[in-house]
Amino acid sequence: MHPGVRVWARRAAAVGLCLLTGCSGGGRQAGPSVDQAVQSPPVSRAVITTTPGDGSQDVAPEGPVRVTVAQGRLVSVRLADDKGAVLVGRVSPDGGSWAPDGRLSPATPYTLDTVAEDGAGLKAAQHVAFSTLTPARTFAAFFTPEDGSTVGVGMPVSLRFTRPITERAAVEKAVTVTADPPVAVRAHWFGSQRLDFRPEKYWAAGSRVTLALRLKDVQGAAGYYGTQAKDVHLTIGRAQVSTVDLTTRTMTVRQDGRMLRTLKVSGGSPEHSTYLGAMVISEKFEVTRMNSQTVGMGDEYDIKDVPHAMRLTSSGTFVHGNYWAPVSVFGSENTSHGCIGLADAKGGSPDTPAGWFFEHSIVGDVIEVRGQEGSVVPPENGLNGWNLSWAQWVRGSALGVH
């Protein structure tokens, strides 16, 4: 071996020995031992437990989701979905537990990141991932009127659900109705499958009304979740409110406060009195069939071509044309089975009182019926919630009086 190589080897060996013994440039004092150099740092005594556990699937949207810590207190908890939306929650006063303020969304992956510390200030962290179930059962709302409609001042916004709703407050909170110009609008439940909205008084003519459905992922009943997230826009047309006086057998038609015409009518007979109160036109038919069997009156009548018919109640009250009674009946006798009849021609004619009123009416117009006999129409029979006072109406909200 070349002498220079041996010198280099001895120097390298010396450097290696120095590294192994921890020596320094100018002293002979030894450094820490190998065992001391690799000693693990202190570990937090805090123990974090989460529900659900890491990797859980098909977690119910209502949870439970909970974080607890033993031998320590929580410093931070972050629950977020796969889009980064954070679900806010609250830590208990003692710092020992956390729970979210709201429900999870169905069919959604979540991450739950927790940091806790023990009495010595040493921190522990945990990361959990889980996903919620995809619901097999859903519900939806059918709404009246249709998107883009122009309706009368009496038209409520009415929702009918495809199944009974038990979580009424949650569903009602997910539906809003607003108007421009602004007016207070409140909700009222008619049973478990119908939710109507109206202001205290009839809508102002020309108002723009918006129904905002935010039912997607909202639990309406155990295991049933909403599917809709959409806006529906309505226009309130001119203000037409007609008044029927069953005593004088007349109907006065007013539009935007101006009287258009007074028409002679025939209301319900004493045996079949016409409902009193405010009734809203919910449907219009150029011609329709009226069969007494469909309203529980046996075989009293079956007229296959009733002209100019406009529905006022779900139970079968209409204002309609009548060609089979003498013209002298109108304005002098109440002879119907509860409907409000106007003189008409067979096949319907625009030149008759019935034809004129049909052409001047739209869905949502109001007919206010007055008389000495008969009962006030039940508010749930048709779109007739106006027969409840404002105080009665707002008490029908699942969210309380507000």
Distances (CA, A) of 164 to 153, 189, 303, 400: 29, 12, 36, 20
Catalytic position from the list 320, 337, 360, 402: 320
The two three-digit tokens of residue 317, written as one number: 């009250």
The helix or strand, by DSSP H or E, that contains position 353, with its residue range, turns out to be helix 353-359
- Is 339 labeled as catalytic in the residue annotation? yes
- Give which of 209, 202, 153 is closest to 181, Cα–Cα: 209
Burial class (CB in 10 A: 0-12, 13-18, 19+), 325: middle
DSSP letters, 93-143, are TTSSEEEESSPPPTT-EEEEEEEEE-TTS-EEEEEEEEEBPPPSEEE-EEE
- Give which of 51, 49, 52 is closest to 68, Cα–Cα: 49
Contact in structure between 180 and 234 (CB atoms under 8 Å)? no
Distances (CA, A) of 205 to 150, 152, 179, 236: 11, 8, 11, 6
- Is 320 labeled as catalytic in the residue annotation? yes
Cis, bond preceding 41 (omega within 30 deg of 0): no
Residues 6+ apart with CB under 8 A from 395: 401
Catalytic position from the list 127, 339, 360, 402: 339
**Residues acting as catalytic residues:** 320, 339
